[in-house]
Amino acid sequence: MLLLSAAIGGGIIAARFKLPSIIGYIAGGIVVGNLLSKFFDHHMVSLVSESGITLLLFALGVEFSFHKLRRILHAIAWPALAQVTAVLLIVFVLLIMFKISFVPALFLASAAALSSTAIVVKLLSERGELDSVPGELATGWLVVQDLAVVPILIMLSAVSGISSSGGSFFPVLGTILLALIKSVLLIGLVLYLGSRGVPRLLGIVASLRNREMFLLTTIGIVFMVGLLTYAVGLSVSLGAFLAGLLVAETSQNHAVFAEIRPLRDLFAVAFFVSLGMALPLSSLMESWVLILVITVAVIIIKGGVIYTLLRFLGYHKKTSFLVGTYLTQVSEFGFVIASTGVAMGALSEPQSSVLIAVTFLTVMVSSPLISHGHRVYYSVHKLLNKLPKLFRETKDDMAISEEPGGEGYPIRDHVVVCGFGRVGKYIGRALEMSNIPFLVVDYNQHTLHDLRGSGIRTVYGDPADKDVLDYAQVDYAKFLIIAIPDRHTQEMVIGNALSLNRRIKIVCRTHHEEDQRYLKSLGVQTVIQPEFEAAITIVNKLYAEFGVRQEDQEGKVSRLKIEHGAG
């Protein structure tokens, strides 16, 4: 009862302050665990917690997609792995400098190298930015990090297994290398079974049309993989994650996820609350300096490493900054690593509490950074220009044109399309089919490279930059299409465009109804909300199917638009 009350109370407070619910659950657990510790069974809470993390990791594995990994592997895999390795080593050295012993430092550094898939995807989805360039890069980066959990946990298990024997450096190094080879073989086995064996097995079982048999087979796969990982000295939780990866490649993965999701949500909440209940405030107050230093260091180091790697790969500084900002928090796997470390005897309870506290704080700090990432970028982009050449704004970050003279394209009375994602590409195709002159402004160099190959005029740069808009000849354009979902960027594009051309007509997309009136007050002629336009299309089809007269259809749709604010 106390656990449930802590979850409800913490969740309500987190929702009120627009923070991730995980923060509320842990905070509620901290309050209950420190004030009412005599009134609940700690062993029972521990059992519920272990069940919750097992189901949570299995569900994360089911939601994983090898197809998605293959699509982004060539662009993201090596930079993401380089980031994990670099952050792990840098944080490890920092912790050693703070007199933390070898094995605990390795556990803490391993957790710091990973970011939270659940939180980043949830917040970007709410903002409608999953299909943006930074959103796609961040999502792909997280996919690679999730796979890296397997070799990391295997390595930590191997190191903690020999820590009590006091082995010298070279035997320890040999054990680590052996563990990494083991992880590669294990991932290879999962990839093979995920593409061949398990889909066929579940397909045969599903053809029997017996729901109980299907569930039993799925649970059997979980236990089989769990026993396999346990046999090689790993945790059952890791086995559950690998089992989820196997099921993810089957055509029945959605059915499996639908069956386990209610239990997953319930036990996952119990897991996060129980983490808070196990955090003694007295010991945290004693280590608050260390917790604060590690938290700040992780945010700066991880963000800086990701920014550096993406700039080295040629991405725009805004893209690099946003992706680095999105991935600054410690992953929910940090909680798993903390629990695993305590179970193996590699981490003491105070050290586990430090790791959980750092994970909690980084999630709490990164959440508003994700929500206001564009605003933060424009606040610090002048500072970025003062960094060395690799980091600061370069010629490529402003605008690229193959036209001689460097003063923009010789184009007049055209349409400027800002952003060429899922919305912008259809607009561009329609303009191209009608031979309406247009120009695309974006900072996804891969997209613009393809467009240039098709003979489409492009400008590479941040659409919110006045010089970039000037280069795109906004002062001679008829229309400006803003297909960018972030409102702060929209505000800057609108203001700079109108300063160049007071007569230009602006069409802007938005995901939120409350933004319509505000955008129109800035000078936008037409505000489009994709969700509302989709609803209007569906309504028109329904009216036609049910025989509503044409004139009545038009009148009712007009009324809907007026009520929506688009009339």
Tell me how far apart the alpha carbons of residues 10 and 512 are, in angstroms, rounded to a whole number.
27
DSSP SS3 for 318: helix
Look at residue 252 in the predicted model and tell me its pLDDT.
66
In this prediction, residue 140 has a pLDDT band, given cuts at 50, 70 and 90, of confident
Phi/psi of residue 166, nearest 5 degrees: 65, 40
pLDDT single digits (tens) 303-323: 999 999 998 888 888 889 999
Length of the chain: 567
pLDDT single digits (tens) 326-339: 999 898 777 778 87
Name the CATH architecture for the domain at 403-528.
3-Layer(aba) Sandwich (3.40)
Tell me how far apart the alpha carbons of residues 84 and 151 are, in angstroms, rounded to a whole number.
12
Average pLDDT over residues 120-149: 79
Average pLDDT over residues 506-530: 86
Tell me how far apart the alpha carbons of residues 9 and 329 are, in angstroms, rounded to a whole number.
24
Q: Which residues are within 8 A (CB) of 50 and not within 5 positions of it... i.e. 6 or more apart?
A: 237, 339
User: Which tokens go with 275?
Assistant: 């983490």
Number of H helices, E strands in the chain: 26, 6
Most confident residue range from 47-61, 235-249, 275-289, 403-417: 275-289
User: Which tokens go with 483?
Assistant: 């297909």
Buried b (16+ CB within 10 A) or exposed e, 297-316: bbbebbbbbbbbbbbeeebb
Q: Smallest Cα–Cα separation from 436: which of 419, 412, 452, 406?
A: 412
pLDDT single digits (tens) 49-97: 667 667 777 776 776 665 655 656 677 888 999 999 999 999 999 999 9
DSSP assignments along 95-113, one per residue: HHHTT--HHHHHHHHHHHT
Cβ-count burial of 149 within 10 angstroms (0-12 exposed, 13-18 middle, 19+ buried)? Answer: buried
Look over the chain and give the mean of its residue pLDDT values, rounded to a whole number. Answer: 79
Average pLDDT over residues 122-137: 77
Q: Which residues are within 8 A (CB) of 425 and not within 5 positions of it... i.e. 6 or more apart?
A: none
Strands (E), 43-112: none
In this prediction, residue 232 has a pLDDT band, given cuts at 50, 70 and 90, of low
Evaluate whether 286 touches 331 at the Cβ level (below 8 Å): no
Task: With a cut of 90, say whether residue 283 has pLDDT above it.
Answer: no
Task: With a cut of 80, say whether residue 528 has pLDDT above it.
Answer: yes
Tell me how far apart the alpha carbons of residues 142 and 238 are, in angstroms, rounded to a whole number.
17
Task: Give the whole-number percent of the chain exceeding pLDDT 70.
Answer: 79
DSSP assignments along 465-532, one per residue: -HHHHHHTTGGG-SEEEE----HHHHHHHHHHHHHH-TT-EEEEE-S-TTHHHHHHHHT-SEEE-HHH
pLDDT single digits (tens) 434-471: 999 999 999 887 788 888 888 899 898 888 888 889 88
Task: Give the whole-number percent of the chain exceeding pLDDT 90.
Answer: 18
Phi/psi of residue 527, nearest 5 degrees: -115, 125
Tell me how far apart the alpha carbons of residues 33 and 273 are, in angstroms, rounded to a whole number.
9
Any idea where the domains of the chain sit in the sequence? 2-384, 403-528
Q: Which residue has the higher pLDDT, 79 or 182?
A: 79
Dihedral sign of CA atoms 113, 117, 122, 124 in order: positive
- Model confidence, pTM: 0.74
Q: Smallest Cα–Cα separation from 183: which of 212, 154, 144?
A: 154
Q: Which residue has the higher pLDDT, 356 or 193?
A: 356
Tell me how far apart the alpha carbons of residues 198 and 250 are, in angstroms, rounded to a whole number.
7
* Residue 8: how many other CB atoms lie within 10 Å: 15
Most confident residue range from 197-201, 450-454, 494-498: 494-498
Q: Write a three-state SS string for 166-208.
A: CCCHHHHHHHHHHHHHHHHHHHHHHHHHHHCHHHHHHHHHHHC
User: Which tokens go with 87?
Assistant: 């952050």
* Residue 428: how many other CB atoms lie within 10 Å: 21
Look at residue 58 in the predicted model and tell me its pLDDT.
76
For the 2-384 domain, the top CATH level (class) is mainly alpha
Q: Which residues are within 8 A (CB) of 563 and not within 5 positions of it... i.e. 6 or more apart?
A: none
Alpha carbon distances (Å) from 404 to 294, 439, 446, 462, 534? 51, 17, 22, 21, 43
Look at residue 66 in the predicted model and tell me its pLDDT.
59
Look at residue 216 in the predicted model and tell me its pLDDT.
79
Tell me how far apart the alpha carbons of residues 461 and 239 are, in angstroms, rounded to a whole number.
45
